[in-house]
Amino acid sequence: MVHDERRNNCFCITCDIPASKGYYVRFGREICKRFSNSYPAAAQFLNGLRFKTFEGTYDRRDYRKDYPLGFITQAEKYLKLKRQDVKRGTYRNIRNFIHKAAAAWGTTNVKSIGYGQIEDYLFDLNVSDKTRSNARSVLSGFFKWLNRREGIPIPDMPEIKFELGWRNIIDIETQHAIIDEVYKISHGFNPRIWIGIKWLSTYIALRPNELRNIKERHIDVSGFIVIPSPKEKNPKLVAMLQEDIDLYHSLKPRGLPDLYFFRHIKGNGSAKPGTQFGKDYLYKWWKKACKNLGIEGVDLYGGTRHSTATALGEYFSEQEIMDAGSMHKSNKAAQRYIQAKKNDSINIYAKVREMQGEAKILDIKKARK
């Protein structure tokens, strides 16, 4: 069979009969594609290849049967890298959104995924706008990685608008009353419960889960609490007040270096002595104290870290308060920086204790009246 473009078909050399049972388009050594009973489709495909070659956009990977540029193929590579690069919880979120996108796009060539496809995917998700925005961020990260790896242009991303909910905060007097109640109901059972909540209300650099993961060896290193794997990725050093260093040394017996500091002392249902506090354990005691005092609608994060940071706004600038939580450099070249920031942080944390002390005095005066 010989191709005759003028007559739009392939013809037998001997009898000049046109082909009718199928056509193959061969293009270089990379492409051999069959078209059943459709010469126009085969011719159009061949002309398309020629045009892409002419304009310099021809990419043989676009036509391979194993879909090397298919979304699923590239997504698997991306997830493999992310699994080693981010924390387990962050990876689960990324994997969740990537898998949902893979279910929508399958082996679709990543070059053909543009604004419209992304918008359809995002707004087909039955989720809140905040979660939809998180999905958008994951896809944005994926396409930026793909651009660096394969040179594929980054598609425009739809804008997702949302408003974060506000956490309820409390004044220092109320915060002190709750912490004092925590002491009353938990200190005889396990003093580390009260210490944990007290530290969360003082050291605004700490997040609840970071605090929970502290081990014995992470405390009192030149007057710091060391957070080895914080949200910011770089190790974070949180300066400690001397009274808390003394409080730490007063706890007996001391645990082995790799024991979690915030651990159960006595058996508690399914929790065995020496095991780490659960994710919501401090919150459970915070809620108990709030209930005893008739306080509603204030969670642990809002009642400690957020409330303290808000109260500090009367004495320090926003930047100074932020700096108290930004000490996350640990290389030797930054040691002088860290020491300077330690002094700044200590001033801020000391002010927290001063405010709490003033709150205690007010409570005593009220009690006398």
Query: How many domains does the chain divide into?
Result: 3
Quick check: bond before 253 cis, omega within 30? yes
Range of the domain at 50: 2-58
| pLDDT tens figures, 304-353 | 888 888 888 887 777 777 766 544 444 443 344 334 455 667 788 888 88
Tokens of 69: 């540029």
Residue 203 lies in a domain: yes
Residue 159 in any domain: the answer is: no
Q: Does 77 share its domain with 209? A: no
DSSP 303: I
The residue among 320, 234, 210 whose CA lies nearest residue 225 is: 210
CATH of the domain at 141: 1.10.150
Instruction: Show the tokens assigned to 369.
Output: 């009246």
Instruction: Give the CATH number, domain containing residue 288.
Output: 1.10.443.10
Neighbours of 286 (CB within 10 A): 27
Evaluated on CA atoms 105, 155, 129, 97, the torsion sign reads positive
Which two tokens mark 261?
């500091």
227, 280: one domain: yes
136 and 247 belong to one structural domain = no
Q: Which residues contact 83 (CB under 8 A, 6 or more apart)?
A: 91
Residues 27 and 89 in one domain: no
In order along its 369 residues, the chain shows pLDDT tens digits of 677 777 777 777 777 777 767 777 777 666 767 777 677 777 777 776 676 667 666 665 655 555 577 888 889 989 999 988 887 888 999 999 999 998 888 888 888 899 999 999 999 998 888 899 999 999 999 999 999 988 888 999 998 887 666 668 888 899 999 999 999 999 999 999 999 999 999 988 888 888 999 999 898 767 888 887 666 566 778 888 989 998 998 888 777 889 999 999 877 667 788 899 998 999 999 999 999 999 988 999 888 888 888 888 887 777 777 766 544 444 443 344 334 455 667 788 888 888 877 665 555 445 444
Closest-CA residue to 154 (of 118, 203, 121): 118
pLDDT for the residue numbered 128: 87
Q: Are residues 121 and 204 in the same domain?
A: no
Which two structure tokens, joined as six digits, stand for 340? 């300077």
Query: Which SS3 state, helix, strand or coil, does residue 277 take?
Result: coil
DSSP secondary structure letter of residue 4: E
Q: Which two tokens stand for residue 300?
A: 């642990």
Please state, in angstroms and rounded to a whole number, the distance separating the CA atoms of residues 73 and 80. Answer: 11
What is the three-class DSSP state of 77? helix
How many other CB atoms are found less than 10 A from the CB of residue 323?
17
Same domain, 362 and 257: yes
Whole-model pTM above 0.75?
Answer: no
Residue 344: predicted pLDDT: 67
Question: Do 46 and 94 belong to one domain?
Answer: no
User: Which pLDDT does position 116 carry in this prediction?
Assistant: 92
Identify the pLDDT of residue 163: 67
Residues 187 and 123 in one domain: no
Helix ranges (H only) for 151-306 are 172-186, 191-202, 208-212, 242-250, 281-293, 300-301
Q: Same structural domain for residues 248 and 117?
A: no
Whether 34 is covered by a domain: the verdict is: yes
Does the residue 330 lie in any domain?
Answer: yes
